[in-house]
A and B are shown apart, each in its own frame.
Chain A
C-alpha cells in the first residue's frame, strides 16, 4: 500500500482511500452516496446539516463523515436502518422550516434528498410543507426576500442555513460579506448591515454557485432560466488574464448564465463579477453585424466581398506606392492565440513588415524587457495557486483585488493560512488593509525604494549566498556590484525620496527575505513608467539577492491585464519575435518559419518592426500610412490621445475589425464585424502560461465573422494566402482552429506538447516541449532561460519617473483600473449588471488637496495636463497620498489618455501612462 493511501471498510466493502481525505469524500468516490447539504469540497467542514452521519467502529455515537478523516483500518457503517431513519428525521425537520422549493432554475439538492427519502413525491418548484413532524416551525417573522443586489436575489424561505454561501464568501473569495444573523430557530442569512445592495458585496456570485437550494440565484435571465433546460458549453472567460474556466448556459441561442467550472485550474469554480455577470455584451444590440465602408465621411453597409476587396485594395496600393513598412498592424490581446497567430502571419506575409504590436506594449513591455534580460523568460515564473501556499507575498503596483479578482482569492486564502503580505502602492488598495506592511512610496520612486530594500537585505545579511554563487552570473562579485550600487539608498535617504519610514522598509525586507518562499505579484504601477524597466530590474535584483526565485513557490509574476496578452506574444504578435519568442532578425529563424509557412525566406521581413506607440508616432510623421487594427482601441488606450487623433487623421487608410463601433473603428475606412469569444473556437493563454480552450457557444450576430476567417480572406485577396502550406503553395483557409493551433505547435517549441486533446478538461502551462511533458508550473527550477543558464543582477540608479510638477500642474495623476469595468470598457459598459455597479468616471483627490483647492466631494472638475484636458467628478479620498490623484482609465466620458505622456522608456518603449502632472479645478 503506498504511503499516501489507507484501507478502510464501508458497509463491509473494502476501499482504498487517500490518507487525510475526509470520510465523506472517500465514501462518495467509492460510490457510497452519503447525503449532505452543508458539506462542499471547497469549504471547511461545517457539520450543520448532520445528514452525513455514519457509524465508525470505536467512535462514540454517530459521527459526521464530513468532519472525520479516514484512518487505516477504519470500519464504517454508512447505511443502515437507524442512520437512514435519522437522516429522514433530519430532512423532515428541515422541511418544517423551509416551505418553498426553488424556482426550477437551479438544482435543488434539498428537494432531491427529500425525494430520495420519500418525503415528497417529486422535485417540483412547490415543495410541500412537512406534515411529518406535526409542528411547523416556520417563523412568520422571518425576513422577506432580499432583492437589493444588482446581480442576485436571496429568498430566506428557501434557505436551509447550510452556511455554504457564508463560507463561499469568506473562505473561497476572502470577502466575508455574508453572515448568519440572530440565533437558534430565528437565525437567518443576510449580507452587510442592511442587505446585499448596501453591503461590501462585489457581485462575484460564488454564493450563488455554491447554494444547494436556489435560495440564492442570479438576477439576469430569471424568466428564461425558469422556463428551459439550457445547453452548457465550457469555455474561457473573456475578461482579464486569469483565464477562468466558465460554463455558459445557452437557451435559444443566447447566453443566460455563466458558472465557474469546479475542480479545474486556474479558478476551481471561482469567478468575479465580470466573469459571472459581464457576458451580456455578447448579445448587445450595438454589436457590429455588417461590414461597413466609409464613403464621403459616412459609413454604408456593404457585403463581405465589397468590404474585403476594398480593404485589400487599400493596403495593396499603399504597399505598392510606399513599400511594406508604410503598413502596420495592431493585433489583439482579446483574440485567441489562433487569431493572433494568423494576424502576425498576415502582417509578415501579406504586408511584408514587422510593424506589428498590440497593447502589451502599454502594459508590461518594461516588465518583459527586464525579465527577459535578467531571467531569460518574461512570463510569470509561478502558478496562480502558488499564492495560496506562499510564505510571503509581495504585491507591488498591482491592485489585484480589482484587476485580477480571482488571483486575489488565492492571495487571501494564503493569508488565511498564515502567509505574510507586503503591499507596495502609493494608493490605498483593498489588499493594503490585509497587509502586514503597506509601503506607500511617492509616485515614481520605486527604484529608490527597492534599492533601499536591497540595501537593508545586504546590510542585515538576509541574502542567499549559495543561490547567488550558483545561479547568478558573476556570483558574489555581482552581489558586490549591487552592494555598491545601492549603498547610497540608506533608510534615511529612502525616507527622504519615497516618504517610507525606515521601520516599515526594514520590516518589509525582513518578511520578504526570511518568510519565503516569497512570490512577487508585480503590476502596471511598476511597469507603466518611463523608468519602468529599471523598476523591474530593481525588483529582480532584490529577488535574486535574497534567493526568492528558482524554487517551488518563489518567483515573480506579472498578471496580464487582458485575457490573452500572454498568448498574443507567445504566438508572435511582436515586432521582434516569431511565435515562441524566436527572434525575427535571425536569418536561420526566418528560414525555418518561412519553410513552415510555404514562402521564400527572402519574402519575410527581417528588420525590427515598430511598436505600438511608435506606430502612432510614425503615422503622425507620415511614415506609416496604412493600419490594420484587430480588436484594439488605441483612440482610447494610447497615451497622449490628442496626438494619436492627429496621427490617425494623417493615415491614408485604416481597417478595423471589432465587435463594437469603438472610437477607433469610427475613424476607419473599412470596418469588419468580428465575433466575440463566445462565437468562436480557439485558445487563450493566461497569465501563468496556461493554454486554455475557448469554445463556440452561440452563433455570431448578423454577418459577423470570426477574426481568423477575415484575416485569411484578406490575405487571399492580397494574393498572399496564409493558410496551411501545401505543395501547390499556401492554402487560403485552415479547416479549423485546431489546425491553426497545430501549426503554432510546430512554430513555437514552448507549446509543442500542448494539443487540443490534452487540454480538453484543464489547460497546460508552457513550456511543454512534447506530449509526454506535464507542463511547467514553476519556471527556472534548475536553470534560467538565459544562454548560460544564469540570472543577471542589473544594478540601476534612481531617477524620478514622474513628470515635473509646477504651479500650473501641481498634482501627479496616477491611473488604473476598477473591478466593474474593463480596459476601454467597450464590452463592460455594454453589460447591464456591470454598469449597475459603476458606469461613470471620477478622479480621486486627497481630502486635504480638495480642501486646499476649494473643491467639493462629488463636484464636477476640469483636469488638465500639458497635453489635454477632461471633465469628471471629484471624489475626496484619503486613500491617495496628498499631492497625488487617481483616475480609472476605462470611461469614455473622461478619456484619461488625453492627459498622459507618450515619452517612452528607452529600453522597453513603454509609455508612462501613470505619473502625469495635472491641474484640477472646478468646472
Chain B
C-alpha cells in the first residue's frame, strides 16, 4: 500500500487520463485499495478540493478567475462569452463533451487580469474576442486529437503577464518589462557586497534554461550553499535570527525562531530523529503572484533555500507543496529538482559533505486554506484540508507528527542571500524591525500592473508610481486611488490618501492594516468598495473548509449579506445605509472571528473593519 501523501498527485493524474476530467467511482475504488483507505476517506478527500471532480466533465476545462482582481477587470462578464464559445453553461459541460466551464479562485495572474485557465495553460488580458479566440484554438486542437491536457509549452510561456516594475534592470527577456530603472541597482557585486537596493528573491537574472542547476551555478548559484555547508547548522540558524528574516507568507513570523524550534524539538522514538522541511508554495491569496514568479524564474534558488534550511534544522527530507493551478511552476520545480539531483545538490552526501537531503513535490488541488501551514501539512499528508488545532505547532509535531519547518517560497529564496552575504548586509536594508527586501505585487487600477522587490518600508505611493500610477475604473489616469487593498482578501483597505504609508510590518499594523503577502490591489475612482467586499466575502465562503461552525455558517451568511449590500449599492442606496450595512456585517464578522478555529474565519473582519474605519468613501 502506498503512503497517502501522493494521493492528490495521483488524483490529478487519474483525472487527466480519464478522458472526462473526473474521478470515476472505479477510480476512487482503485485509490482506496492503493492507499488502504475506506471509500468515504477517499471520496472525502476528492470532494474537498475544487480542482477534482466526481462528475464527468468536458475534455477541456475552461476556468475563469472569479477572485477580486479579475472580477474588477470584468471576468464574470466574460462568463457568458465563454459559455457561448464553449457551448457549456457555468458549472456544466458542452453537449459534445469537449468543454466544461467553471469559475476558479485566484489564478495568480492578477497583473494580467482578467485571466482564465484552459486545460493547463493560463491566458490573461482577456476580452471577449480573445476568449473566443483561445477557445476556438483549444477546440481546433481537441479536434486534432490532442487532449486539452497536452498544451504545448510555448503556450505555457504565455502565462507571465506580469511586468517587472521594481528597482533594477528588467529581470527577464520575453516578459513585458518596466521601462529602464536605475541600472544594476541592487545586483550584488562580485565581491559580495550588496549595492544600495537589494535584489534578494530576484537576485538572479532570468536564465536561458531556468531549471538547470549547472546554469544556475554558473550564474553564481549554490555559492551560498557551499558557504552554508561549511558552517555548523546552529551558526546558520543564529545568522538568520540575527538578520531578523521574517516569514514572507503573510504572518511575518521570525524565521530564525521557527528554525530554532524545529531544530531543537524533542524528537520521536525512532533512531535518528526524522525532521522535515516544507516549502509552502500554495500561493492563493488574491492579488498575490510573487511565489509563482520566483518558482518560474529561479526554481533553483528555492531549492537552494530548501537545502540550506534543511541543513540548518537537521532535516533529511523536504517537500515543496505547490498549488495545483500553478502548472508552469510545477513543471519548472519538478525539472529543477531533477537537475539538482543530477548535479549533486540533492540526494546523499551533498557536495561531498555528510549532509544528505531528498526533495519532492506534492500538489495541492484547489484550496486556499491549504496555504495555512498546519492545513498545508494535513493536505500534504493526503487528507482533507482541515486546519489542525494548535498547539502543537509544526516545529513540535508537523508532518506525520514529526518536527517540521514550513517556510514560504519567498522566505526560502532569501536564505541563500543571507547565508552568502551575512546578517549585517541584510540588516542594512529595510527598517530596523523589518530588514531586507520584499516582493510586492501591484494590481487593479494601475497603468502597468506587475511585481518587483523593494526594500522594506518602501512608500505605498512609490509602488503605485512604479506601476505607472493609478487609473480610474474606466482605465483613465487618476490623481489618486479610491482605496487600496493591502494583503489580498485577507488584507485591509487603506485610503487612497495614504500613499505615504511605509510598507513594513509595524507601520502597517499601526495604520490598521497589514503587510500580508505583499499584495497591493488598487481601486480607482469609480470603483465600489462594496463590490470588492462582495467578491472577498464570496471568496471566503468558497474557501471555508466547513470544519468549525462560526466560519462555515458565518462566511456563507457574510457572502449573502455582501451580495445584498452590493445590490443595494448598485440600486443607488445612500452611503449612510451602506455604512450601516457594513457595520452590521463587521459586527457579525467580529463574532465569527472570535470563535473561529483558524485564520480563515478571522479574515473577513479585516477588510470589513478597515473599510469602515479607514475609508471615507465607499465608492
Contacts and interface: CB of A to CB of B under 8 A. Distances in A.
Q: Do A and B bind each other?
A: yes
Interface of A: 45-50, 53, 61-62, 64, 67, 86, 89-90, 93-94, 96-97, 133, 135, 137, 160-161, 163, 175-187, 190-194, 199-200, 418, 433
Contacts of A187: 545-546, 552
Contacts of A64: 389, 597
B544 interface: yes
Nearest to A37: B549
A96 B553 contact: yes
Given A86-B594, A181-B43, A49 B544 contact: no
B544 A93 contact: no
20 contacts: A47-B597, A48-B547, A48-B597, A50-B550, A50-B596, A62-B595, A64-B597, A67-B389, A86-B595, A163-B547, A175-B38, A179-B38, A179-B41, A182-B48, A185-B552, A187-B545, A192-B39, A193-B25, A199-B38, A433-B36
A161 B552 contact: yes
Contact of A50 (B269, B545, B597): B597
Contact of A177 (B40, B384, B389): B40
A48 B598 CA distance: 11
A175 B41 CA distance: 10
Interface in B171-208: none
Nearest to A418: B269
B579 interface: no
Contact of A183 (B43, B544, B550, B597): B544
A185 B1 CA distance: 33
Interface stretch (B65-73, B139-147, B476-484, B554-562): B554-562
Contacts of A194: 25, 39
Interface in B510-568: 541-550, 552-557, 560-561
Contacts of A190: 40, 43
B43 A179 contact: yes
Nearest to A180: B44
A163 B43 CA distance: 16
Contacts of A161: 546, 549, 552
Nearest to B556: A185
A176 B548 contact: no
B28 interface: yes
B580 interface: no
Among A133, A135, A191, max chain B CB count under 10 A is at: A135
A90 B557 CA distance: 13
Given A50-B548, A184-B542, A137 B389 contact: no
B136 interface: no
B596 to A, nearest CB: 7
A184 B36 contact: no
B561 A135 contact: yes
Given A47-B548, A181-B47, 5 more contacts: A161-B552, A176-B41, A183-B545, A183-B546, A184-B544
Interface string B357-390: 0000000000100000000000000001100010
A179 B384 CA distance: 10
Task: Give the dominant DSSP class at A's interface.
Answer: loop
B350 to A, nearest CB: 31
Given A50-B595, A86-B591, A193-B28, A179 B40 contact: yes
B8 to A, nearest CB: 14
A482 to B, nearest CB: 30
Contacts of A180: 44, 384, 546
Give the top 9 A-B pairs by smallest Cβ distance, nearest first: A179-B40, A179-B44, A193-B39, A187-B546, A93-B553, A50-B595, A185-B556, A184-B546, A192-B39
B29 interface: yes
A97 B553 contact: yes
Contact of A193 (B1, B43, B541): B43
B613 interface: no
Contacts of A89: 550, 591, 595
Given A193-B40, A200-B38, A49 B549 contact: yes
Q: How large is the interface on B (under 10, 10 to 19, 20 to 34, 35 or more residues)?
A: 35 or more
Contacts of A191: 40
Nearest to B552: A185
A93 B550 contact: yes
B37 interface: yes
B556 A137 contact: yes
Nearest to B40: A179
Given A50-B548, A62-B595, A180-B44, A137 B38 contact: no
Contacts of B561: 135
A89 B28 CA distance: 39
Given A137-B557, A180-B384, A192 B40 contact: yes
B40 A199 contact: yes
A96 B548 CA distance: 14
Contact of B48 (A97, A135, A183): A183
A49 B548 CA distance: 6
Among A64, A179, A187, A191, max chain B CB count under 10 A is at: A179
Interface string B412-437: 00000000000000000000000000
A51 to B, nearest CB: 8
B546 to A, nearest CB: 4
A90 B595 contact: yes
A96 B592 CA distance: 15
Given A181-B47, A183-B384, A176 B545 contact: no
Interface string B32-70: 100011111111100110000000000000000000000
B113 to A, nearest CB: 25
Contacts of B597: 47-48, 50, 64
A875 to B, nearest CB: 19
Given A86-B595, A184-B541, A199-B40, A137 B47 contact: no
Interface string B16-35: 00000000010011001000
Given A86-B595, A135-B557, A185 B548 contact: no
Contacts of B557: 93, 96, 133, 135, 137
Contacts of A178: 40
A91 to B, nearest CB: 9
Given A48-B597, A193-B25, A185 B553 contact: yes
Contacts of B38: 175-177, 179, 192, 199-200
Contact of A181 (B44, B554, B596): B44
Given A176-B40, A177-B40, A184 B25 contact: no
Among B29, B546, B560, max chain A CB count under 10 A is at: B546
B39 A182 contact: no
A165 to B, nearest CB: 11
Contact of A184 (B29, B269, B555): B555
A506 to B, nearest CB: 19
B595 A53 contact: yes
Interface in B215-263: none
A192 B39 CA distance: 5
Nearest to B596: A50
Contact of B549 (A50, A175, A433): A50
Contacts of A186: 546
Among B25, B39, B547, max chain A CB count under 10 A is at: B39
A752 B389 CA distance: 49
A448 to B, nearest CB: 29
Interface in B61-115: none
Contacts of A199: 38-40
Contacts of B545: 183-184, 187
Nearest to B542: A184
A135 B1 CA distance: 46
A135 B545 CA distance: 20
Contacts of A90: 549-550, 595
Contacts of B269: 418
Contacts of A192: 38-40, 43
B83 to A, nearest CB: 21
A88 to B, nearest CB: 10
Given A96-B553, A199-B38, A193 B560 contact: no
B560 A137 contact: yes
Nearest to A95: B553
